[in-house]
Amino acid sequence: MNYTKILPELISGSDELFQLALDGKARIILMINLTILGISYGLSNLYGALIQSPDLPMQGQFALITPLMFCLFGIFTMIGALLGLTLIYWSAAKAFGGPGGFGLIMDLIGLTAVPFWFLAPLINLALNFNQSETVPLFLLIPIVLIFVWSFKLVRQSLVVGQGLSEGRATLALACMWIFSISAVYVFIP
């Protein structure tokens, strides 16, 4: 399976794409998307760290080591986020009548990861490295548009991968987002 040939489907979220997860052929795509997501998140942390502390070592041998450390941190962070999202997705799918299945759900999430390549770094920059009290408009508009894109892809993965109707999938996804945002709010000091 050639990743560049499947990339347009990863962006649009066609039914055939999610059939790959049902057929057990999506694990490599999960790994590639998770790696890209982790690297983009790590690079957003590097960018924010360079803005906040310009004396971060980036000369000589550190020109490779420092970005590598941030990228590895991003990959491990996104692995943790994937596991958490898998549990939330599983519970929502089971609650609304889907079959569940952790391996299937991880594959489905991996197929919907393309919007998160952009969403995770933008939210990271807006929340962790923003100097003002409000999110600037040049960050807010892309965050909202990418959120809508991710909502549509994840909903389609629930419809095709878990066999839910579009209405049940929308309700399940809304419950997932509400629970996730509420959980984050509880743990923010």
Per-residue pLDDT band at 188 (split at 50, 70, 90): low
| CA atoms of 109 and 139, how far apart (whole Å) | 24
pLDDT, tens digit, 9 for 90 and up, residues 6-32: 889 999 988 999 999 999 999 999 999
For residues 129 and 175, the model is more confident at 175
Q: Which residue has the tokens 């490779």?
A: 64
The whole-number average pLDDT for the span 150-179 is 94
Whether the predicted pLDDT of 189 surpasses 70: no
Whether residue 9 lies inside any domain: the answer is: no
Q: How many independent structural domains does the chain possess?
A: 1
Classify residue 5: in a domain, yes or no: no
Q: What is the 3-state secondary structure (H, E, C) of 3-62?
A: HHHHHHHHHHCCHHHHHHHHCCCCHHHHHHHHHHHHHHHHHHHHHHHHHHCCCCCCCCCH
Could you tell me if residue 10 is inside a domain? no
Q: pLDDT-derived band of residue 135, with 50, 70 and 90 as boundaries?
A: confident
Q: What is the mean pLDDT of residues 77-82?
A: 93
118: confidence class by pLDDT, cuts 50, 70, 90:
very high
- Ramachandran area for residue 188 (φ above 0: left; ψ -120 to 50: alpha; else beta): beta
CA-CA distance, 70 to 50, in Å (whole number)?
11
3 is a domain residue: no
Domain extent for 174: 15-187
